[in-house]
Amino acid sequence: MNEHDFLTLDTMRSAEYLIAALYVLLFIPFWKFVSNSAPRPVMKEAAETEGGWFQVPADIFLDRGHAWMKKASDGIASIGLDEFAHRLIGPVSQVSLPDVGSTVKRGAPALRIQVDGKEFAVLSPVDGRVTAINRQALDNPASLGKDPYGSAWLFRVKPEGPMASFKELLSGEKARKFLDDAFEALLPANQMSGALAQDGGLPASGFAREIDPSGWEALVRSQLTPEERRLDHERTV
Amino acid sequence: MSSTAAVSRPANWQEWIRDHVFLGMSSRDYLKSLWTPADVIIGLILLAGIPVIIYRFVAGLGAVTNLDQTTPWGLWIGLDVASGVALAAGGYTVACTVYIFGQKKYSPIVRPAVLTGMLGYLLVVLGLLVDLGMPWHLPYPLFLHFGTTSVMFELAWCVALYFCVLIFEFLPAVLEWAGLRKVRLYLAKFTIGAIIAGVMLSTLHQSSLGSLFLLVPDKLHPLWYSPFLPFFFFLSSIAAGIGMVIFESSLSHKAFHDQIKKGRPVDLDGITVGLSKGGALVLFAYFFLKVQGVVAGGSWHLLGTKMGALFLTEMLGFILLPSLLFAFAAHFYKPGLARFAAILTVLGIVLNRINVSWLALNWDAPNRYVPSGYEILTSLTIIAIGVAAFRWIVNRMPVLVEHPDYKGIH
């Protein structure tokens, strides 16, 4: 150990205690500062739940016909197609959206998408009046799958009717599990490798064709307009 | 078809080799695919460096290094061994966070961290072998002549055992790649035991690497010499591990983007910001402990000297600054800032290890050691071996993306 040129032993000990006390005093506000994080940007909420094939942002509500709804603070809801549906169908070639001012009914076809010359209806997750449509989606439908819960919203509605219908939508862990179950139900073990992207992980884009090259159209329809959802609609009508 | 997505076994071994080793290409196509700038640079370094390493073993240490009796430790110990051990600490830091503290959100980075740790230790072992020479003498300190009072003895055993533990921790990825499902599932039972062994061994040898320098109080500059050296080394290894994991994961996500985008989405920004909280607090504690070391050593009057300037650079620029940057990154959710702080942290720990084992060691000797070109080339070669191994493994085994057959299994 070196000699203490400037300080006597007592003064040096005092300096050591002082630094220790200073550390503790500063550590508390520092720790609080570090722990009190600012809220995360909304678009970065993509991985709030652990595990599974799909992630669903916390503010997204899913319908069993794979349309999602996200409500803004002004009460207007954005509607889009979930990640499962985008991966199932692959790049979209054309979108037909409802007119601004028209009304959409929960469980009734609200828009149509075209993939490889086949047309599919997508059911509305809510009742409401259309306030806006996404023109970028009309111009560049093939890019919709890149950001399914963000820039790929399709139209906006001012929701109408009973709020109870919102409760039937799935969110958080339930929504994630719904997508995982839907994927796994479609996936017999011997067909798994084809439906998955290389190196495993997420289902490959357009995996409906991998699962059933000849009957993929029916498979997509069964997912986007499931029997029980159509019946719901018919009952309400 | 890619190796990791394969479920059914290929019909014969040629097909297996083509799928699992040549990435589904013929050997000729595979060789052509290696014609990339990164592969060519790595190839050139290996081509130049491996003969130098062979020459070192044939002609001895004096033939390739500027080391002598006064300065027996140089670049290889400072960079490859001391820095390598610290930077490989991400393995035990992340494994402990996920499996012992239960922070499951960090699980996507466990395998890359363990792989980095394993390869880091491989480089440490290579660096040590090159530095020590006569590898056939290795069993003596380990098994035949127990020097139980020597820090070197503890260090040798800890490094050897921890390297084995890291291989064991990484084995599941290898078994998934090889399609050995039964063994893989059986191994899952030992995960927690392996993690605990890894944390214990790391605690021991990270600190004993610092203890090593307690033996040279007259050679090491007073600003760096402190009875707290083992604590400094242990605490800074946690910071180095966090820094290296952030740095490595952001690099991997860029370099292996094609592979990752097909996998389950990983919230890398969230993980980075979460890790930066740990980085901020650890570096903050480390800074104050270093200040305490200066006061306890009564050496603060040396802060005004040339070596003092180097010490202050390390303290303020590479410990306090990254600590504050990590804190801001965590508070304001700035993943980019956290990555910059991680780079500063990694550089800071390398600077510290180089200072302790080289620049501040024999600091007042009349003839200062400067590494030879061969030494630098050898160090580069060892690092290139690590980078090449990392790329080879990540391109084949389920490291950055989960194997679909083993979802949720440890």
Is A36 within 8 Å of chain B by CB?
Answer: yes
Asked if residues A116 and A122 have their Cβ atoms less than 8 Å apart, the reply is no
Model confidence at A228, pLDDT cuts 50, 70, 90, reads low
Please give the radius of gyration of chain A, using alpha carbons only, rounded to the nearest integer: 26
d(CA A104, CA A98): 8
What pLDDT is attached to residue A38? 65
More confident residue, B254 or B215: B215
pLDDT at B146 over 50: yes
pLDDT at A193: 40
Specify whether the CB–CB gap between B108 and B271 falls below 8 A: yes
Chain A segment 182-211 residues within 8 A of B by beta carbon are: 189-190, 192-193, 196-202, 204
Domain boundaries of chain B, sorted by first residue: 34-401
Strands A118-123 and A109-115: antiparallel
- Mind telling me how many Å the CA of A123 is from chain B's nearest CA? 27
**Tell me: the pLDDT tens digits for A3-18?**
545 556 677 788 888 9
DSSP state of A79: E
Contacts of A19 in chain B (CB under 8 A): 288, 291-292, 295
Contacting residues of A for B217, CB less than 8 Å apart: 1
**B141 and B153 in contact (C-beta within 8 Å)?**
yes
Task: Name the more confident of B273 and B141.
Answer: B273
Do A204 and B333 lie within an 8 Å CB cutoff? no
Q: Which residues contact B258 (CB under 8 A, 6 or more apart)?
A: none
Sorted by sequence, the CB contacts under 8 Å of residue B124 that are 6+ apart come out as: B80, B81, B84, B85, B88, B159
**Long-range contacts of range B336-339, CB-CB < 8 Å, 24 or more positions apart?**
B338/B246, B338/B272, B338/B273, B338/B275, B338/B276, B338/B279, B339/B246, B339/B247, B339/B250, B339/B272
Mean of the per-residue pLDDT values of chain B: 86
A5, closest residue in chain B (CA to CA):
B298
Pairwise CB contact (< 8 Å): A51 & B297: no
- Give the mean model confidence (pLDDT) for residues B141-148: 83
Task: Write out chain B residues lying below 8 Å of A200, CB-based.
Answer: 4-5, 262-263, 398, 401-405
* pTM confidence score: 0.66
Chain segment B87-140, per-residue pLDDT in tens? 889 989 999 998 888 887 888 888 889 999 999 999 889 998 999 888 888 888
Residue A42's pLDDT is what? Answer: 41
Write down the pLDDT at residue B320.
97
- Which residues 47-106 in chain A show a CB within 8 A of chain B? 47-48, 50-53, 55
Residue A34 touches partner B, C-beta closer than 8 Å: yes
8 A C-beta contact, residue B271 and residue B112: no
| A chain contacts of residue B408, beta-carbon cutoff 8 Å | 51
Grade residue B27 by pLDDT with cuts at 50, 70 and 90: confident
Give me the sheet containing A109-115, strands edge to edge.
A94-96, A109-115, A118-123
Judge: B267–A34 Cβ closer than 8 Å, yes or no: no
Please name the residue of chain B whose CA is at the shortest distance from the CA of residue A57: B267
Pairing of strands A61-62, A128-133: unpaired
pLDDT in tens, B338-387: 999 999 999 999 999 999 988 898 888 887 889 999 999 999 999 999 99
Q: Which CATH architecture has domain B34-401?
A: Up-down Bundle (1.20)
Asked if B270 and A40 come within 8 Å (Cβ–Cβ), the reply is yes
Contact residues, chain B, for A181 at CB < 8 Å:
none
pLDDT at B264: 58
**Strands A77-81 and A155-159, how do they pair?**
antiparallel
Give CB contacts under 8 A, 24+ apart, made by B189-197.
Answer: B191/B99, B191/B410, B192/B99, B192/B100, B192/B410, B194/B165, B194/B168, B194/B169, B195/B95, B195/B96, B195/B99, B195/B100, B195/B169, B196/B100, B197/B161, B197/B165
According to the model, what pLDDT value does residue B2 have?
38
Reply yes or no on whether the pLDDT at B395 is more than 60. yes
Q: Give phi and psi for B95, each to the nearest 5.
A: -60, -40
B317 CB-near residues (< 8 Å, 6+ apart): B344, B348
Residue type, A213: P
- Return the structure tokens found at B44: 């050139």
Task: Count Cβ–Cβ pairs < 8 Å, chain A vs chain B.
Answer: 136
β-pairing, A94-96 vs A109-115, is antiparallel
Q: Note which residues in 122-161 of chain A have CB less than 8 A from chain B.
A: none
Which one of B275, B400, B407 makes the best mutation probe of the A interface by having the most chain A beta carbons within 10 Å?
Answer: B407
pLDDT of residue B402: 67
Residue A50 has pLDDT above 50, yes or no: no
pLDDT band at A73 (very low <50, low <70, confident <90, very high): confident
Optimal mutation site among A34, A183, A187, interface B, most CBs of chain B within 10 A? A34
Asked whether the predicted pLDDT for residue A234 surpasses 70, the reply is no
> For residues A24 and B56, what is the distance between their CA atoms, to the nearest angstrom?
51
> Between A34, A41, A47, which is nearest B280 by CB?
A34
pLDDT band at B388 (very low <50, low <70, confident <90, very high): very high
The pLDDT of residue B337: 95
Per-residue confidence band for B265, with pLDDT thresholds at 50, 70 and 90? low
Query: Would the pLDDT of A171 be above 80?
Result: yes
Element (H, E) at A7: none
CA B136 – CA B12 distance, rounded (Å): 39
- At residue B406, does pLDDT exceed 70? no
Tell me the C-alpha distance between B345 and B342, whole Å: 5
Contacts of A44 in chain B (CB under 8 A): 267, 269-270, 333
Half-sphere exposure of B203 (CA within 13 A, CB side): 7
Instruction: Report chain A residues whose CB lies below 8 A from the CB of B284.
Output: 26-27, 30
**pLDDT at residue A45, rounded to an integer:** 40
Which range among A225-229, B18-22, B274-278 has the greatest average pLDDT? B274-278
Domain ranges within chain A, ordered by starting residue: 51-236
User: Which residues from chain A sit within 8 angstroms of residue B2, using beta carbons?
Assistant: 198-199
CA distance B342 to B303: 26
State the nearest Cα–Cα gap between A156 and chain B, in angstroms.
Answer: 27
- pLDDT tens digits, B290-348: 999 998 888 888 999 999 999 999 999 999 999 999 999 999 888 999 999 999 999 99
Please tell me the class of the A51-236 domain.
Answer: mainly beta
Torsion sign, CA atoms B354, B355, B356, B362: positive
pLDDT at A155 over 90: yes
* Pair of tokens at residue A222: 């069964």
> Would you say residue B200 has pLDDT above 60?
yes
